[in-house]
Structure 1
Amino acid sequence: MTSTAVAPRPPAPAKLKILEVADRLFYTEGIHTVGVDRIINEAHVTKATFYKHYRSKDLLIVAYVEGRHLRAKHLIDEARASLTDPADVLRALATLIGQIATRPGFHGCPFINAAAQFGDPAHPVRQAVSRHRAWERALVTELVTELGNASREDAVDDLILFRDGALSGSNVGDPERAYRALARAVERIIAERDAGAGSQRLTA
């Protein structure tokens, strides 16, 4: 006797609507400034419906952070799909960050913004942000390793820091200048790979 896998049910439309409204308001206005009643009113649901799908505001915030993570992962997967050279992937990621930072309505990195509003590292929202950051670091480490950079950990630290700086700087300053600074940092990391490869050829 064989068992038939049952496809998971799609989320209820009301649940999706609540998250859609929360995503917009949390990002544009700040998590702590947006109350549950505002979300309920703009999502056109009842309070009972809200608490049926999200037992607390904190759980909704975690869902917001996790949703932003999935969107970021999708964008990066798309950017990597047709590229094989890790140098080209790093350049593509820098370009993607530049495109995001220059879009209308950009208000900084949603993960940095969320973390800034929850000081306790053990809070579920901070943990959700930490999971995203761990995934992000693993991605950069993988690319730098493929690149063959001799100072791998330093290169990863530099790229993460410049990524954060580019997004934060774009929010409070000139997005184009912030992107160019990130692009220069990426090229320096790539140049270190190329310089190392040249040294190996000379000593071979």
Structure 2
Amino acid sequence: MIAIDDYVLILLAAGRSERFGDADKLQQDFLGKPLAFHVVTALEDVPFKARFAVCSNTALDFGSRGYTVLHNADPGDGMAGSVKLGVRAAIELGCAGAVIALADMPRVTASHIYRLADAVDGDGENAVIASSNGVQTSPPALFGAARLPALLELAGDEGARAMVRAGRHVIAPEAELLDIDRPEDLERLRALR
């Protein structure tokens, strides 16, 4: 187990939302607030060392919610480009590692983040701990400081999948890891309430 207050949170909110259509999926209403602010609210009491939101095409004000906003001027670079922006900021700040989460996963909980931290062995320097529904891995994922430079070498939408597959996995209910990519995903989310 590691101290989560030595880790930074990198919230990825810079996707192009191509599969969602013309609307900004992060601003879509879910239970009376924008979809993206559900994960923001769920994690607001987790004492991260810092919070970075990597954004591109959203008008949502993550800055007012305690995040340092990093603008991704080229969201076409895929998830890897956003990850690199957040990781560079984390390395510059100096931290024990980073938790990478997605703004379009509104049911992620603080408890799950603490379970990721609890799964770390030793000092966590080389940790790679990802979420899983028991079949597939997904964010959120925790990376120790020694793993951060490797994240700067990523390209395209592949992200850190190979690293994550080889790391440890913490199981969460499938509904908690629901990723909203298409309008039908949002309808499925609304039906789960």
**After TM superposition, is the score higher than 0.5?**
no
TM-score if structure 2 supplies the norm length?
0.27
Higher relative contact order (CA 8 A, sep 6+): 2
**Structure with more helix by fraction:** 1
> Which of 1 and 2 has greater Rg?
1
TM-score if structure 1 supplies the norm length?
0.25
**Structure with more strand by fraction:** 2
